[in-house]
Structure 1
Amino acid sequence: MVIATALLFFSFVALAACSSSTCTFIPSINATTTNYPGSSFVKTSTYPYNVSDLSNVPIATICTSPTGNRTAELACARTYIDAIDEQLAFLYARRLGYAAVAGVSKFATNTSLNEPSRNDVVAAGMAAKVLKFGATEAAGAVMGGEGCMIYAALEYEAEIIQEDCDSRFTVDVERVCK
């Protein structure tokens, strides 16, 4: 679901301003200080917790039914998953903005977009972070880059460069799944 949510953000168009010698990425206005999950400006959604404070996100045991009502547990879990997915999507859109800045900067300095050693560092770092918070190292490695977050960000960077800086730009981005 996170992958699908992240890919949704590829449909948000980012703007870039180019001159004959430079290409500068201007982040999308879609992930702003007024449309973040829980913003007072967003009136259409309700959340089961205060989404502006991560410490208020309850742990999953809140959905465990003492009577074993699996239907209620599923409904409860989906409510929290939906809220968390919205937060993840917002943060991922923000992350893509930074990835695009990095990509355009690499393009301008004739540096390779895809740096496998850096990708490995990011994936390992995410694996350690996710492990620290109670999930598995394998899940963190996937989130961190093994075929997911980094791959999508590199594709996004390449699209921004192709659309707004150099339509002939190509990069070979290999999706690595272990």
Structure 2
Amino acid sequence: REHYTAVGDALVWTLKVGLGEVWTPDVADAWTYVYGVIANTMADAGDKVTSDQEVKVSDQEKKFHIKRTWEKIDPMREHATKIFYRDLRETDPKSNAVFEDVDMEAQEKKLADTLGIAVKYLDNLEDLIPVLEDMAVRHLDYGITKEMYYSVGASLLKTLEVGLGDDWTPEVKTSWEWIYK
């Protein structure tokens, strides 16, 4: 939408310069109104197309995609967790302080184990959620903030994308986003 504002400003300026003395406050108001209608209509249509193109995946399909792709990631868990933490530290420098005095090899194993447990309990979310909530409370003591979970999620998705290669599809991405949220 912000691009429409820049285009509108350029159009109005061009008309003002091109029309010279014919450009009056009434003409300016009319062109501003017309361009506003055009821009809003086009932006709304673009938003609708974007939302219509979102991948629709049922919860059962999401669980299937997560389990299937975890089977591919799990054998390379050591490599995947290294990618994850490298990306997290590069994209969220605040996380460096959190992991400063941490045994990263042990931390990488904990991450892979936690993801494995989460995948294992996908069909029993009512038992999984309290475990994850308890873990989140413990992470507060380590200096993890709510904002850091956004970076963690982004790094997780990037790691999965790298690890899965061609198996990283829009449906798989939607599935992992769903379970992370």
Q: Which TM-score band applies after superposition, normalised by the shorter structure?
A: under 0.3
Structure with bigger RCO (C-alpha 8 Å, 6+ apart): 2
The structure with the greater share of residues assigned to helix is 2
- State the structure with more CA Rg: 2
The structure with the greater share of residues assigned to strand is 1
Provide TM-score, normalisation by structure 2.
Answer: 0.28
